[in-house]
Structure 1
Amino acid sequence: MKNSNELIILTDYRHSLYSTVKYGNASDNGIDLNRLENHIGSHGFKIRILNFFELDFTTENFTDKYIIYQSSEDHNAFYKSYIEDIIYAINLQGGIIIPSFKYLKAHHNKVFMELLRDITKIEGVEHSHSKKYGTLEEFLSDSNRIEFPVVIKSAAGTMSKTVRKAENFNDAIKAIKFLSRTFNVKEALKSILKKVIRNHYTPKSNYRNKFIVQPLIEGLDGDFKVLIFEGPKIFLVKRSLKRNDFRASGSGLISYDYDLDSELLDTCMKIYNSFNTPFISIDLAKKNEEYFLIEFQFIMFGTTVLEKSKWFFTKNNGQWVKEISNNLILEEIYADSIIKFINDKIN
């Protein structure tokens, strides 16, 4: 059955889709929906722009309709949980979700991101061998297998705000208690009472925010923030570490002036091609000729790298070339990636 030519753009309760630094604060402003609608529509698609709450599964069938959508990074993933419900229902009904539901699941969720990494073979990139835990108690049961130093990350969080380094076991416990704490007075009192009444009762953990533990990659001087769109179009910046810090994200020490490096670009494309997605954001590091994929996102990633870059990298007759990006428009690059993805990967 031929797929529909209908494409639905789902925006959040603020009528926003993604973000841009072009119109001010990147966290509060979405991309230009009119420009996006016009560009996608010019390729023969019938466009509808809706809020999530406007979908009615009792009166409309979304089978074979293309869906692009917004995620959320709010605290505790309250609104994101709602978005996941809607997108998964569309998926069950046969809608064509771009990017697919598993990539929404990995957004703002480092535990699932790492699980996705575990089941995806990426040639030429070192595996992080991260461990995933749901509670402090699970970590304690497994701590004899941990080799320090490690990096501990809460499942949600941006700009390294929920990342801690642990040189030893005591550091790890302190970091996990800070990142994973879910203490509630009522729950604690109930647990104490139940323990008095029932001798064999095991109290609920007070640390139930899931987290990951990764080996620390020592000796890095920074990493690369890379955005890849269909074409390909690769935008990247080099991020350096602050003195006595292990985190490049949020350091503010960035350089857009980076020369063409075919090996680096080939590695970026290997990562990109390992996932079935129109675009991706990756944090990539290199040490002793080995590449390490730190993190990756497929939806609602920051676009500063694209909007502030003076050039991008692409291929011409099979060779990487560096092209000026002065006249590139975010909405058109986003739209072109969606259209090419539909034409090349779906139809």
Structure 2
Amino acid sequence: MKGKIAIHARSGGFSDRWIEYCQQKNIPYKTVDCHSSNIIEELADCSFLMWNWSQTYAEDMLIARGLIKAVESMGIRVFPNSETCWHFDDKVTQKYLMEALGVPMVTSYVFLDRTTALEWAGMTKYPKVFKLRGGAGSSNVFLVNDINKAERLINKAFSTGFPPVSRWNALSERWWQFKRDKTFISFFNISRGIFRALIKNPTLERLPVQRNYAYFQDFVPDNDSDIRVIAIGKRAFGIKRMVREGDFRASGSGKILYDPELIPEACIRMTFDLAKKTRSQSLVLDFIFSDGSPLVVEMSYAFASHGYLSCPGYWRNDMTWVEGSFHPEDFMVDDLIVSSVERS
């Protein structure tokens, strides 16, 4: 391979394993700061850039898409590339993309003015699910059982708006995790959650308030779980996530089943197919079911990789099974290098 891999290092993300894998395989790399004004100069001796940019960093959200496009114009191969991440953390954009490609999905509604949204709320059938366009782990997701709650959410959406990350919702999540796990660590996290609820996090405070739109999805009943399938190149792996007790959400529940027999073949094939159509290096799809048919809820390029280390193997895109543990981040590095060789 020609040139180094530039890695934006951030503890807790993909970059931890990217660096470890490069060291194990003697792949030349260097760490860079994609927030630096001199980032283009820093990439002068590099053929690749890998940056696990995140919705929880305002700096990332501000510059990532534009910077990646600029770096690609230099002939540098990027993970994630523009085709992979242009719709990241934007459920509204994802709705339009999936509708355009004819992807079976949960019916979704977008409103850009209060009057139209309120008129719809007065005519639609309930329950519905209200979401913000961004967020992960079931944050900013609310079950709407009647017109009164719908109107409250709509009026707030077109006035004061919603913080992209609610400190009090985050505390509630920690309390739920303690009830689930009943461990010292989960108890300790409650105290951290109280501190963060009372003391504003400057990183999160820089994220813009979400307002002047309303996004709803149909509520699809009788789902005690969802299916998540991730395709990276010509490989896919999946998990089944059980919903929380007394709730309808599976994302963020921590109740994960890794048996590959629980992953419907239709979900795997749909993920491979959409990844091919969108030319995505990494595609995450969440599915629920209506009358036995899978429907996509939302999509992403990123995921918390530690949650998949217990996967017993993965499928190739010809649906053959490869047994054995793996690090998803390794696939990302390998594919980026191979894509450069194939291109040359």
TM-score, normalised to structure 2, is 0.71
Select which of 113, 128, 142 maps to 1:150: 128
The residue aligned with 2:276 is 273
Select which of 85, 91, 101 maps to 1:104: 85
The residue aligned with 1:182 is 160
Worse overlay, 65-74 or 133-142: 133-142
What CA distance in whole angstroms lies between the structure 2 residues aligned with 1:161 and 1:89?
A: 32
The residue aligned with 1:222 is 225
What CA distance in whole angstroms lies between the structure 1 residues aligned with 2:210 and 2:51?
A: 32
State the shift of 1:223 in Å.
0.6
State the shift of 1:163 in Å.
0.6
Question: Is the partner of 2:248 in helix, strand or coil?
Answer: coil
Q: Which runs of 5+ in 1 are unaligned?
A: 21-29, 185-205
Report matched runs for 1:8-157 at 5 Å.
8-11=5-8, 15-16=9-10, 19=13, 30-38=15-23, 42=27, 47-54=29-36, 56=38, 65-74=47-56, 77-91=58-72, 95-122=76-103, 126-134=104-112, 136-140=114-118, 142-143=120-121, 146-157=124-135
State the shift of 1:147 in Å.
4.1
The residue aligned with 1:250 is 252
- Contact 2:77–2:336 under 8 Å retained in 1: no
* Change over 3 Å in CA distance of 1:278–1:58 after alignment to 2: closer
* Change over 3 Å in CA distance of 1:105–1:273 after alignment to 2: closer
Whether 1:159 aligns to 2:159 is no
The residue aligned with 1:239 is 241
The residue aligned with 2:310 is 308
Question: Is the partner of 2:220 in helix, strand or coil?
Answer: coil
State the shift of 1:139 in Å.
1.9
What CA distance in whole angstroms lies between the structure 2 residues aligned with 1:41 and 1:105?
A: 31
State the shift of 1:292 in Å.
0.6
What CA distance in whole angstroms lies between the structure 1 residues aligned with 2:32 and 2:43?
A: 15
Select which of 318, 321, 327 maps to 1:329: 327
Report matched runs for 1:257-296 at 5 Å.
257-259=259-261, 261-296=264-299
| One-letter identity of the residue aligned with 2:107 | H
Offset from partner CA, 1:45-83 (integer Å, 9 cap, x none) = x64432114464886897x954332312227x4542133
State the shift of 1:95 in Å.
4.6
- Contact 1:134–1:209 under 8 Å retained in 2: yes
- Contact 1:154–1:180 under 8 Å retained in 2: no
State the shift of 1:278 in Å.
1.9
* Change over 3 Å in CA distance of 1:133–1:58 after alignment to 2: same
- Between Structure 1 and Structure 2, how many residues are aligned? 297
What CA distance in whole angstroms lies between the structure 2 residues aligned with 1:58 and 1:67?
A: 11
Worse overlay, 150-159 or 329-338: 329-338
- Contact 1:40–1:339 under 8 Å retained in 2: no
- Rg larger in 1 or in 2? 1
Offset from partner CA, 1:11-49 (integer Å, 9 cap, x none) = 1xxx317726xxxxxxxxx4144334346764xxx6443
State the shift of 1:160 in Å.
1.1
Structure ranking higher in helix proportion: 2
* Change over 3 Å in CA distance of 1:103–1:17 after alignment to 2: farther
Q: Which runs of 5+ in 2 are unaligned?
A: 163-208
| One-letter identity of the residue aligned with 1:156 | G
